[in-house]
Amino acid sequence: MKVRVHVSLKPGVLDPQGRAIHHSLEGLGFSGVNEVRAGRLIELDVADSVTDEALDDMCRKLLANMVIENYRIEKVAT
Amino acid sequence: MTFCCAVVTFPGSNCDRDMAVALEKVSGTAPLRVWHGDADLPEGLDFIALPGGFSYGDYLRCGAIASRSPIMRAVVEAANRGVPVLGVCNGFQVLTESGLLPGALLRNSVIRFVCRDVKLRVENAQSLFTSGYEAGQEILIPVAHHDGNYFADEATLDRLEGEGRVAFRYAEDVNGSSRQIAGVLNGAGNVLGMMPHPERAIEATHGGTDGRALFESAMKALVGA
């Protein structure tokens, strides 16, 4: 089973990388971009026996830092 | 009485030797060296140091993988028993990732790697690590980091301030840290994490010796030297 874990900074947490990307986009002449937030995509290939609870546990224990990040688990149809 | 300390090395640590040299200069005893893959710490430790560097190449998040390595289970257990633990730079990141200290270290607000001497204000001069300083004293300690922007929610920051757990504060904005916090203590006061490098300010040839009192404070508190 393919799983995508989308990790993003919580609202309100400063994102200097997103700001730099935003700045760079403006430098390239793209207008109308209000805000950029950078996150992380982690793709997992796991056995079908891996439960939703286990995936959630993986996110909380390692893949995301719950102090500053949120995560979303997406199961990809194969 | 000898001061029995250990320096933990992770793959990618690069200040472990500096830390070991500083501890030896101050205590007269060479620290034990511990590898990340070890499951146990040596018996009878007075002090554990987590050094700076780029453990596991900063993969995933700075300090994230190191904080889940076998030795860290033993370090967390020792810290919870009251053994003093100092984490500097990447060591601070490992401490927040392991949950021993609150908050997290984000990318510097200025984006750039910051590498220079900075002025710190000693906020709490009563801790095990800081009793050799005066409250409010300004000291000069080098920083060298890309991810030193301390973040915690407002309630946590208020709690840290209220409980005297802000050990050091930058005298100026260095990296965007919330309330210019440079170093924090755990609730029991036996764990200190800080981004600046006291082990790089031990001898006059380093350009300053303001870091020395930190190690001397710990030694005095622990072995009465």
pLDDT in tens, B126-152: 999 999 999 999 999 999 999 999 999
Contact with chain A for residue B152, Cβ under 8 A: yes
Contact with chain A for residue B155, Cβ under 8 A: no
Q: Name the fold adopted by A2-76.
A: Mth169; Chain: A , (3.30.1280)
Q: How far apart are CA B142 and CA B168, in angstroms?
A: 13
- pLDDT value, residue B133: 98
In which band, very low, low, confident or very high, does the pLDDT at A29 lie, cut at 50, 70 and 90?
A: very high
Helix locations, chain B, DSSP H: 16-27, 70-81, 90-98, 154-162, 212-223
pLDDT score of B153 more than 60? yes
Contact with chain A for residue B64, Cβ under 8 A: yes
pLDDT in tens, A36-56: 999 999 999 999 999 999 999
Report which of B135, B139, B65, B75 is spatially closest to residue B101, judged by C-alpha positions.
B75
Residues 6+ apart with CB under 8 A from B73: B39
- Tell which A residues from 4 to 63 touch B, by Cβ distance under 8 Å: 13-14, 16-17, 19-20, 61-63
Q: Do A16 and B110 touch (CB under 8 A)?
A: yes
pLDDT score of B225 more than 60? no
CATH number of this structure's domain B5-223, picked from the four choices 3.40.50.300, 2.40.170.20, 3.40.228.10, 3.40.50.880? 3.40.50.880
B129: which 2 tokens?
A: 């690590």
Cα atoms found within 13 Å of the Cα of residue B178, Cβ hemisphere only: 21
Sign of CA dihedral B137, B52, B50, B186: positive
Task: Report the percentage of chain B scoring pLDDT > 70.
Answer: 99
B77: which 2 tokens?
A: 């257990």
Residues of B in contact with A20 (CB under 8 A): 111
pLDDT score of B58 more than 60? yes
**Residue B4 identity:** C
In which band, very low, low, confident or very high, does the pLDDT at B1 lie, cut at 50, 70 and 90?
A: low
Establish whether B172 is a catalytic residue. Answer: no
pLDDT averaged over every residue in chain A: 95
- pLDDT value, residue B111: 82
Task: Report the percentage of chain A scoring pLDDT > 70.
Answer: 99
Which is the catalytic residue, given B5, B89, B145, B146? Answer: B89
- pLDDT value, residue B222: 87
pLDDT score of B36 more than 70? yes
Per-domain residue ranges for chain A? 2-76
Contact with chain A for residue B12, Cβ under 8 A: no
Which of the residues B68, B76, B93, B107 would you substitute to probe the A interface, choosing the one with the greatest number of A C-beta atoms within 10 Å?
Answer: B107
Three-state SS for A11?
coil
pLDDT score of B109 more than 60? yes
Q: Do B64 and A67 touch (CB under 8 A)?
A: no
Q: How far apart are CA B91 and CA B101, in angstroms?
A: 11
pLDDT averaged over every residue in chain B: 96
Contact with chain A for residue B139, Cβ under 8 A: no
Per-domain residue ranges for chain B? 5-223
Mean pLDDT of A59-77: 96
Q: Which of B104, B108, B149 sits opposite A65 (nearest CB)?
A: B104
Establish whether B199 is a catalytic residue. Answer: yes
Q: What is the 3-state secondary structure (H, E, C) of B89-121?
A: CHHHHHHHHHCCCCCEEECCCCCCCEEEEEEEE
pLDDT in tens, B160-219: 999 999 999 999 999 999 999 999 999 999 999 999 999 999 999 999 999 999 999 999
Residues of A in contact with B149 (CB under 8 A): 14, 16
Q: Which of A13, A19, A65 sits opposite B97 (nearest CB)?
A: A65
DSSP B136: T
B67: which 2 tokens?
A: 């904080």
CB distance B50 to B86 below 8 Å: yes
CB distance B63 to B55 below 8 Å: yes
Mean pLDDT of B52-75: 96
Provide the 10 A C-beta neighbour count for residue A6: 15
